[in-house]
Amino acid sequence: MTRLLLPLEHPTATAEHAAEDALLHALKRLPRRVQQVFLLNRLDQLDFATLSARLDLPLSSIERHMNQALQAGRSRLDVLASVAGQWYVRLQSPHVTACERIDFRRWLDADPANLQAFHDTELRWRSLLAPARQLGQDGWYRQGRAALSLGGCSIAMGLGVAALLLFGFWA
């Protein structure tokens, strides 16, 4: 008796790849400056103080951008995840105080759901690595003011050339 061997079909997108694609899409929808801060921290391992100095941004802006990146793609109605994300980002800041660390510990101990939310936030942070690598694969975020779009620069250049041509004809 002969057997008919059929090639195994491989699923086109596993649940893991679908989740990574969703995270990548959410990260791409963030403003370029937020993407840049996130990628410099996540891929180049730059701490908040270094980012602040390098990009000439206040530390509070760095924290806000990092929180935006961490919350990308999450439901805005998930208040507990939002608070856990804010704690996760704040604890990475060089300006976090001992009082804030104590407050964090109290928040964590107040409810098992808080501990679970913080744990989920840590897992989310780890899950953002692969989409971050895809987003920053060409290294655009390492350039000085990468947050400026080329589209805006092209428009400005076009208007400048048009003005020169216009004034050139009048002269």
How far apart CA 111 and CA 107 sit, in angstroms, is 7
Instruction: Name the pTM for this structure.
Output: 0.72
C-alpha distances out from residue 97 to 41, 61, 103, 121, 158, Å: 21, 18, 10, 21, 50
Residue 7 domain-assigned (yes or no): no
Structure confidence by residue, pLDDT tens digits, 139-166:
999 986 544 444 445 566 666 666 666 6
Is residue 14 domain-resident? no
- What's the sign of the alpha-carbon dihedral 61, 67, 70, 75? negative
Task: Count structural domains, the chain.
Answer: 1
Which amino acid is residue 57, in one-letter code? L
- Cα separation, 9 vs 25, whole angstroms: 27
Confidence of residue 134 (pLDDT cuts 50, 70, 90): very high
Residue 5 domain-assigned?
Answer: no
Around Cβ 33, how many Cβ atoms within 10 Å? Answer: 18
Residue 11 lies in a domain: no
How high is the mean pLDDT of the chain?
84
Q: Is 88 a domain residue?
A: yes
Q: Report pLDDT digits (tens) over 22-64.
A: 889 999 999 999 999 999 999 999 999 999 999 999 999 999 9
Please give the residue range of the domain that contains residue 75.
19-137+145-170
> Residue 53 domain-assigned?
yes
